[in-house]
Structure 1
Amino acid sequence: MAQANSQNAQKKTITDKFIEFSLNYIPDSMVFVLGLTVFVFVLALIFTDSTPWGLVEDYAKGFWELLSFSMQMCLMMISGFVIANAKPIRKGIVRLIDWPKTRGGTIALFALITGVISWLHWGVGLMATIIMGKEIAIRKRGQGFHYAFIVAMAYTSMNIMANGISQAAPLLSATPGNFMEKIMGGIVPISQTSLSPYMMTFLVLELLALPVVYYLLMPKKEKAVEISDELYKEFTAEPEKVDASKKLTPAERWERSRVLNTLIALLILIWFGDHVITEGVSKINLNTINFALFGLGLLFHDSPHSYIESVKEGATTVYGVIIQFPLYAGIFGLITFSGLADEITELFISIATPGTYPWIVFIYTGIMDFFVPSAGSKFVIEAPYLVPAAQHLGVPVSQVINAYGTGAQMANLIQPFWAIAYLAAFRLRFQEILPFTFMLWLFVFIAGSLWFLIFPFGW
């Protein structure tokens, strides 16, 4: 018996050992953010002139900084869920999931489709990966898909490919009149950042590599722990149906009528189309995207009743955002208002050369985003010293933006902040997906490092 146990222990893969370690020692995301708060507080005490009470003031000042952003994220997540949960969209997703007959084929299809969607817009990609991930867990049950691996695949696919045209920093830098225009010496067109041949090539290579990496990381069929019976029943429960023979009241007829949904949806979408045509793509922001998603959600649902029921279901994915965003905003306050961000940045810039600066920005962002995982709002604070440093070293500003965005996406792979929606939707803990997301973090770290060190000035 002892010999058999020894042999079983020897058969454990690195991933198996990582899963075991993660389940035993990595806390829940709520514990993670509270622990990070203490850690950053201590760092600020050591490396800045702030007093303990001054840091408390900084924390309180930052605590409410992300309220608008929190609401925007909640609306985006719920609206995206509502769209993906609509009957015509879900039928399309089901057909796609049913098409491949093998595990490898399913992984390849999932990675490529969700990767492209996430590149177009990370918010839609976030909900698309959740919906498709759930359908794989449900419809491929019995084929050996490890449930936590599916969730990790969904989370990493969105994050790795989200460094696309919806990234805040490139869009902001390409907008005339932005706060950095004078320092940059003009705007930086999106053709030099997200849509540049340099970044497009890198992202295409990442996209093509994802199915291979996922396949190598996928637990063997005999070791897979599939979706539980409890979750399977919950996710496949049929919504309550209205008795067709029942005579509806006037109020119930309006609740189940398509008229109002379609009318409001068309008004919203016509406005959005006119806005894009007259103002240009550069004017698209979270508010206009949320407006369009709201309209699409109404259009794809056949009644107000169907829409609101879907909203109720989608709302279960945002409870973590509501509670944890203020806590991360407090960390944001500690780092920003205490001067800790300046101290860390100066440390990296002091060892930079023109050939290593983009890579240093890539690494720096990966570190800072781990503590303040909001690349858009963080760029407003960091750009005023990252950009002048690049200009001093003779590095194109576009390369700073490219390295900045790539580093931010890398950090998210081992940071539970953006995983909150996935953990809520799939009913998992962060430590259950971390072994897989860590390996993807390692992949992006190596790929990004090679890319920015070999081609530091772009093409």
Structure 2
Amino acid sequence: MSQPQSRPAADLAPATTSMERFSQAIVAWAEKWFPDAYVFVVVACAVVGLGAVLHSGNPMATSKAFGDGFWSIIPFTMQMTMVAITGYVLAMSPPVAALLRRLAQIPRTSRGAIVFVGVLSIALSLVNWGLSLIFSGLLVREMARRRSLMLDYRAAGAAAYLGMGCGFTLGMSSSAAQLQATPASIPASLLPITGVIGFSETILTWQNLLVIVLVTVVSAVICHMTAPSRSATRTAEDLGVELEDDHLTPSQRKRPGDFLEFSPVLTIVVVLLAAGWLWNAFRSGNPFITMSQLNTYNFVFLLLGLLLHWRPRSFLESFVRAMPSVGGVLLQFPFYGGIGYMLTKVGNAQGVTLSDEIAHWFVSLAHDSGIFSVLVGIYSAVLGFFIPSAGGKWVIEAPYIMTAANDLHAHLGWTVMVYNIAETLPNFINPFWMLPLLGILKLKSKDLVGYTAVQFLIHTPIVITVAALLMATFSYHPPVIPAH
């Protein structure tokens, strides 16, 4: 059966409002010009590689850094792969599939569905970014099956991504806030500069709550105003996406040797084996922090998938069904490892890396805490475009940023949050975190970036300005160094 042809952007009816016209112009541009995610990361490699060569004057060192870094984030690549797969497997279990169907019935209009997905994505990201990314994507697929809804699949997919663009570093998923609150996690060289900064100084401040409310409201308004009119809507069918049922049809036992595949005995054994480890992992600290660790998150979701599928055969079939969603992650993430090494490992004659040079330049422009906050936000967003890893990037940037914060008497906890608030903004236009979602939706980055770029253009000046203004509501406290 041939797939339906997509309607060219030029054939769509004209937008009805100025915001919709603006967004549709960007969407049309992205669909025509934005490259595939693989091309995007290779271009980024070329740009950073050229910058590293010009900075260091050493092409061989740059090449070595790229090769050394290429496999440096393989553990993280595997973790991200499992985030996508375990989320998919869990969603195909009967209980979660039923929940997705019920949630998909709540919105009554396409515009309402897009807003609903966006707000839910941000709310879930405050608890766990992986849950937000996968669950929201699967919810969009479920909504798209409602023929009566006439859902714009691109705009809904972009809404599912909002938690990664402006939410997850404001909640328990914040790697930088977690690192600074845990003495054992703070590098020895950084501890004297920052001390221990508890959640009461970062994600649990009223200022952060205000930012969360602000970004949620702004995101929802943008979703509502940029949702295409009915005549301009492009459904999954228009885009050639087949929405086959994600729910599994139970297989039948065909031979005596299939007994264990259709029996819950092995599932029970595995869960019992894991029970002691889970007990130790969760009793020792905050469960939200424990779940934010990717290995723990994936382990829990894998076990939940086993339990909810109950029989190994159903679990195995769902696992195989989930595999196509992770091809982009496996191919492209290593390139970001190479980019990170070129930025942080290639030094000039004085041993200063390109990342160091950029940081020093930004910090040198600051003369007071307000300007400093703006510069931290801009710097974090710029570097986040090339190194989209909140926790790892913070370790690189923190010595320069926090030393300057102490010199300028800027509040250390809010400096962490300014970094957090701005660091995710490039995610709107960088496909790095988008890859698992694209695999689930069976779309390309160009299909979503038109809508997420509008979010980026509106959020960036608002969020960085508000974060800088809120710095004035804090008083400086010297670093709190724990006694040994």
Offset at 1:279? Answer: 4.3
The 8 Å contact of residues 30 and 450 in structure 2, kept in 1 or not, is answered as yes
Q: Bigger shift: 14-23 or 383-392?
A: 14-23
Summarize deviations over 1:282-304 as a string: whole Å, max 9, x none: 55522222222222121211211
Which of 2, 15, 29 is the aligned partner of 1:21? 29
- Structure 2 CA distance for partners of 1:92 and 1:269, relative to 1, 3 Å: farther
Within 2, Cα distance between the matches of 1:37 and 1:185?
Answer: 32
Identical columns (%): 28
Structure 1 146/187 Cα, relative in aligned 2: closer, same or farther at 3 Å? same
Cα offset for 1:276?
Answer: 1.9
Letter in 2 for 1:78: I
- 1:342 corresponds to which of 346, 356, 363: 356
CA contact (8 A) 1:64 1:326 kept: yes
Cα deviation, residue 24, structure 1: 2.0
Q: Name 1:428's counterpart in structure 2.
A: 443
Deviation at 1:308, TM superposition (A): 1.4
Change (3 A) 1:342 1:100: same
**In the alignment, residue 225 of structure 1 is paired with which amino acid?**
R
Task: Find the partner of 2:337 among 307, 329, 335.
Answer: 329
Which of 300, 303, 314 is matched with 1:306 structurally?
314
The answer to whether 1:115 aligns with 2:125 is no
Q: Which runs of 5+ in 2 are unaligned?
A: 1-9, 347-352, 475-484
2:191 corresponding residue in structure 1: 182
**Alignment partner, residue 166 of structure 2:** 160
User: Which stretch shows the higher mean deviation, 344-353 or 204-213?
Assistant: 204-213
Do structure 1's residue 57 and structure 2's residue 64 form an aligned pair? Answer: yes
Mapped partners of 1:6, 1:171: distance in 2: 49
**Contact persistence 1:149–1:433 (CA under 8 A):** yes
What does residue range 223-238 of structure 1 map to in structure 2 within 5 Å? 223-228=232-237, 233-236=242-245
Larger mean CA deviation between 224-233 and 379-388 belongs to 224-233
Letter in 2 for 1:300: L
Question: Is the CA contact (8 Å cut-off) linking 1:356 and 1:456 kept in structure 2?
Answer: no
Question: Quick one: which amino acid aligns to residue 143 of structure 1?
Answer: L
- The whole-number CA distance in structure 2 between the counterparts of 1:135 and 1:314 is 16
Residue 221 (structure 1) aligned with residue 235 (structure 2): no
Tell me the residue number matched to 1:397: 412
Equivalent residues of 1:63, 1:330 under 8 A apart: yes
Please report the TM-score for the alignment, with normalisation by the length of structure 2: 0.87
Tell me if the contact between 1:268 and 1:291 (Cα under 8 Å) persists in the aligned partners: no
Distance 1:253 1:265, change over 3 A: same
SS of residue paired to 1:455? helix
Whole-angstrom CA distance in 2 between matches of 1:87 and 1:357? 51
Partner of 1:407: 422
In structure 1, the partner of 2:217 is 208
Distance 1:298 1:242, change over 3 A: closer
C-alpha distance in structure 2 between counterparts of 1:69 and 1:251, whole Å: 37
Distance of aligned partners of 1:327 and 1:313 in 2 relative to their CA distance in 1, 3 Å threshold: same
Cα contact 2:120–2:136 (8 A) shared by 1: no
Give the counterpart of 1:319 among 327, 336, 340: 327
Aligned length: 450
**In structure 2, what is the Cα distance between the partners aligned to 1:34 and 1:337?**
19
- Which amino acid in 1 is paired with 2:191? K
Aligned to 2:478: none
Using the TM superposition, name which of 260-269 and 152-161 deviates more: 260-269
Using the alignment, how far apart are the partners of 1:176 and 1:7 within structure 2? 56
1:387 aligned residue (394, 402, 416): 402
- AA aligned to 1:378 is K
| Alignment partners' CA distance in 2, 1:251 and 1:211 | 53
Per-residue deviation, 1:380: 1.7
Equivalent residue for 1:268, pick from 264, 274, 283 = 274
In the alignment, the residues of structure 1 paired with residue 12 and residue 45 of structure 2 have an alpha-carbon distance, to the nearest angstrom, of: 43
User: Deviation digits for residues 293-334 of structure 1, max 9, x if unmatched?
Assistant: 222121211211111111112221211111111111111111
